[in-house]
């Protein structure tokens, strides 16, 4: 009987409209009310229209810290929670709120694992300009992200890392809420975003989390204030669950690194793992990795952590671990030595050139992301298929000087969307008389 199982999970009985009314009036909900509401969401006993009204009330009224922690905990426990405690040593994950050209998980996870902190990374697929981490990995021939929990656990135990997709059994309440938020204009809510992220991350069996909270043109959070609100909310949820969270606020105004698109970003990640690659991609890998090592308790300072990560990139241990990871997840390990030969390649490479001479003052990340999306690198809708080969290769970065007709970037494309992508991409560049030299991507670290 459904009722029996409800009673087991939620000792108190609620009338959903009474809980909605309370939140509507800005009154704090009790832990019991929140647990019972989320139980109703999970088992389907609360209809969509009541959930939708509740989401709007939360959007407009917010949560206090206790409500936020209880809501996230209830979402977490709506599904399976992995227990990796039998694997010795610290387990730390990183989550990024998402950006354009953000391939950092790929070099980061092996670098951190090579330094002795395990990285059990479970990613959602979601929507985005250029695919998510799972899409990027899947551009490596053979690479599988649907390993199942047992193999995930074994791989983490053996290699110290594994990267898989969410199973149906992780935070099922989040799937219901997420689908509804998308169509009820309740996506951009700090407590709803924070609890959605944490309900999935805490299910991984981690000890601590580093949140890369992106801010700027190409990010979900457009202002420092929004980013720090989200960071605070995530830290609150983590603290209540006994899982410390370090928030790193990073600049997402211009695209990260020199490539946007799935296979292109794998190639750039391999470059970073060789101790090469664009300076900002390396910086993000080193600094986020340093915070993960600090969270894991294997170093005493950020500076020591940064040295260790840099050494793992420059010394080959991170690349080596990536090779073993690819193999362990059924991918073709030759990709590590010959990315150009193994990764899918698009048929054409079309330059987009500077219409005037000057300094590159800004490259609007979101426009570059949309250009990649138009070529087929990302998904507009869940059903869309991603083209792993296409994307954008940046030829200049902010602060560079360009002459008329010089390439700003290249469209790496097949048949789809070239003209629209060119227009979008051209619109992303602001060329002027002067430009500030690019600063650090790291804006703030909240430990």
186 binds its own copies (CB under 8 A): yes
Q: What share of the chain is helix, strand, coil (3-state, %, to 5)?
A: 45, 15, 35
Residue of 371, 361, 359 lying closest to 409 (CA atoms): 371
60 binds its own copies (CB under 8 A): yes
Measured in degrees and rounded to the nearest 5, phi and psi for residue 29 equal -85, 150
* CA–CA separation, 42 and 34 (whole Å): 12
* CA–CA separation, 230 and 402 (whole Å): 38
183 binds its own copies (CB under 8 A): yes
51 binds its own copies (CB under 8 A): yes
225 binds its own copies (CB under 8 A): no
184 binds its own copies (CB under 8 A): yes
Residue 181 annotated to the active site: yes
SS3 437: coil
49 binds its own copies (CB under 8 A): yes
190 binds its own copies (CB under 8 A): no
Among 77, 91, 95, 424, the active-site one is 95
| CA dihedral sign of residues 266, 205, 285, 237 | positive
Among 3, 13, 21, 349, binds its own copies (CB under 8 A): 21
* CA–CA separation, 78 and 40 (whole Å): 10
Among 93, 174, 253, 280, the active-site one is 174
Using CA atoms of 64, 67, 72, 77 in order, give the dihedral in degrees to the nearest 10: 170
Give me the least distance between CB of 366 and its own copies, in Å please.
18
Residue 196 annotated to the active site: yes
Among 2, 4, 8, 18, binds its own copies (CB under 8 A): 18
196 binds its own copies (CB under 8 A): no
48 binds its own copies (CB under 8 A): yes
Applying CB under 8 A, the span of 83-91, 184-192, 344-352, 392-400 interacting with its own copies comes to 184-192
Number of Cβ atoms within 10 Å of the Cβ of 168:
8
What DSSP character marks residue 128?
B
- Residue 440 gets the label, from left (phi > 0), alpha (psi -120 to 50) or beta, of beta
Give me the least distance between CB of 187 and its own copies, in Å please.
9
Residue of 311, 289, 19, 345 lying closest to 161 (CA atoms): 289
Give me the least distance between CB of 24 and its own copies, in Å please.
5
Among 37, 59, 63, 71, binds its own copies (CB under 8 A): 59
44 binds its own copies (CB under 8 A): no
Q: Which residues bind its own copies (CB under 8 A)?
A: 16-18, 20-21, 24, 47-53, 55-57, 59-61, 180, 182-186
């Amino acid at each position: 009987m459904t009722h029996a199982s409800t009673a087991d999970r939620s000792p108190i009985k609620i009338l959903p409209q009474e809980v909605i009314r309370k939140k509507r009036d800005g009154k704090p909900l009790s832990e019991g009310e929140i647990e019972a509401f989320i139980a109703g969401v999970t088992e389907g006993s609360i209809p969509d229209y009541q959930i939708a009204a509740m989401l709007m009330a939360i959007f407009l009224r917010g949560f206090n810290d206790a409500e936020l922690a209880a809501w996230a905990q209830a979402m977490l426990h709506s599904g399976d929670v992995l227990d990796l405690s039998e694997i010795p040593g610290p387990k730390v994950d990183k989550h990024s709120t998402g950006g354009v050209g953000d391939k950092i998980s790929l070099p980061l996870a092996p670098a951190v694992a090579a330094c002795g902190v395990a990285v059990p990374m479970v990613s959602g697929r979601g929507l985005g300009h250029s695919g998510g981490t799972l899409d990027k990995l899947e551009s490596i021939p053979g690479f599988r992200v649907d390993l199942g929990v047992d193999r995930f656990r074994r791989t983490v135990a053996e290699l110290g890392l594994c990267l898989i997709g969410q199973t149906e059994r992780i935070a099922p309440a989040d799937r219901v809420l997420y689908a509804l938020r998308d169509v009820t204009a309740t996506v951009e809510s700090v407590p709803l975003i924070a609890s959605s992220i944490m309900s999935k991350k805490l299910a991984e069996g981690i000890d601590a989390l580093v949140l890369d909270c992106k801010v700027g043109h190409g990010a979900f959070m457009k202002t420092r204030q929004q980013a720090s609100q989200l960071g605070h909310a995530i830290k609150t949820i983590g603290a209540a669950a006994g899982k410390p969270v370090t928030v790193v606020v990073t600049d997402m105004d211009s695209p990260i690194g020199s490539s946007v698109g799935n296979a292109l970003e794998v190639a750039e990640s391999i470059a970073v793992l060789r101790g090469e690659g664009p300076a900002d991609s390396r910086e993000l890998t080193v600094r986020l990795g340093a915070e993960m090592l600090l969270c894991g308790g294997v170093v005493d300072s950020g500076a020591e952590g940064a040295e260790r990560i840099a050494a793992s990139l420059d010394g080959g241990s991170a690349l080596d671990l990536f090779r073993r990871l690819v193999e362990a997840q059924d991918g073709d390990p030759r990709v590590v030595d010959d990315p150009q030969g193994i990764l899918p390649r698009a048929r054409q490479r079309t330059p987009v050139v500077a219409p005037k001479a000057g300094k590159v003052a800004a490259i609007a990340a979101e426009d570059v992301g949309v250009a990649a999306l138009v070529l087929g690198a990302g998904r507009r809708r869940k059903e869309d298929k991603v083209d792993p080969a296409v994307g954008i290769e940046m030829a200049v970065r902010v602060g560079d000087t360009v002459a008329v007709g010089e390439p700003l970037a290249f469209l790496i494309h097949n048949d789809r969307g070239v003209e629209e992508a060119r227009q979008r991409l051209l619109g992303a560049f602001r060329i002027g008389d002067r430009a500030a030299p690019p600063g650090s991507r790291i804006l703030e670290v909240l430990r």
